[in-house]
Amino acid sequence: MSFHDAGQLLLTGVPGPELSTEDAAFFKKLQPGGFILFGRNIKTPVQLRKLIDDLRDLSDVEPVITIDQEGGRVSRLKCLGNEPPNARQLRDRNDLALIHRHGDITGRLLRLFGFNLDLCPVLDLSFDDEADNSLKGRCYGRSVAEVIEKAGAFNAGLRGAGILSCGKHFPGYSSAGLDPHHELPVIERSREAMEEHELAVFRHFADKVDSMMIGHITITGLEPGGPPASLSPAMINGLLRDDMNFSGLVMTDDLDMGAILNHYGFDETMRMGIAAGNDMLMICHRVAQAAQARRVLEALPPAAIEPALSRMETFKARLAPPTVFSEEAFRAVDSEIWDLRVATLGADAAAQRSAEDGKRSPVELY
């Protein structure tokens, strides 16, 4: 196996907290480029580190090991310890040192378990803090300048700790009225408005994040009648790569979301995803389908996948190895999360999760 295997273009979920014999055989044959973990994969600190060690041992090429560890309700690791404050809480506290500390703590926590990429920061603006479009509590700012300043502080702390970052959700979910976990949002918004707001943020971060996640969203002013940005050559190869000069890794958001499932067949989605300019196709929940995804990619002409494989190789050269694990080390970092929570929210508020962040979402947000 090598960087030139089609499986390297897949980012796949893992069924449970341990690898069964069947799981291990499946992944050994599939050789995906990376793994994304969720709450279903996490029981104890020791178990999580073992799972990641096992996934790395099965991989002939060092895999991307990633997770959504933002803060607040999108904190997969909160089932092991303290829940970090979310982006809105940090934004409202308005202390860049705290936000940078959050990034640093998050990076050190992730490396302790063996992760090498965090799927954040969220670069969407919050036009409405109460909007029901999956972004509630997750945005660092209400203006371009605020997002650049505050998401930038988190991003710097995270990368400084050795974890690669991912800007999301390009080209911007901010104005969406629908949640793409369920259905494809189509936004009536001009190119001029996008350039002034959402795209201004992504342009700023084009040389400051290591990867970009492409959203399942269609924006009429950018591509009238076009496919979702995640499957669009105009949005990825055109706007992101050629116009914004982004040279990092590009991945789809989860292709198991309703925004895609309700409109495209599986094989068609895989072919469109690579043709659009993605380097990794994300399959979070229908893990068994990853074998079919690999077959579809292997059937493509070599020239169709070589650019993505080359970018994967470049990206993987920068993956940091895990740090030495111990439960004592985890408890020490977890106590730092508690201190950050107190510094952000105050002692009384820190003692209990907010109604928004304390409840489990019916779907796991990305």
Strand pairing category for 69-71 and 74-75: antiparallel
Most confident among 330-339, 341-350, 351-360 (mean pLDDT): 330-339
Whether the per-residue pLDDT at 1 is higher than 60: the answer is no
Q: Report the candidate in 265, 239, 236, 234 with the shortest Cα–Cα distance to residue 253.
A: 236
Element (H, E) at 12: strand 10-12
Instruction: Judge contact between 314 and 59, C-beta under 8 A.
Output: no
* 195-221 average pLDDT score: 95
The CATH number of the domain covering residues in 20-351: 3.20.20.300
* Predicted confidence band of residue 363 (pLDDT cuts 50, 70, 90): very low
pTM of the model: 0.93
Tokens 């603006």 belong to residue: 125
Positive or negative, the Cα torsion across 345, 351, 355, 359?
A: positive
Which segment of 47-61, 224-238, 247-261 scores lowest on mean pLDDT?
Answer: 247-261
Whether the per-residue pLDDT at 150 is higher than 90: the answer is yes
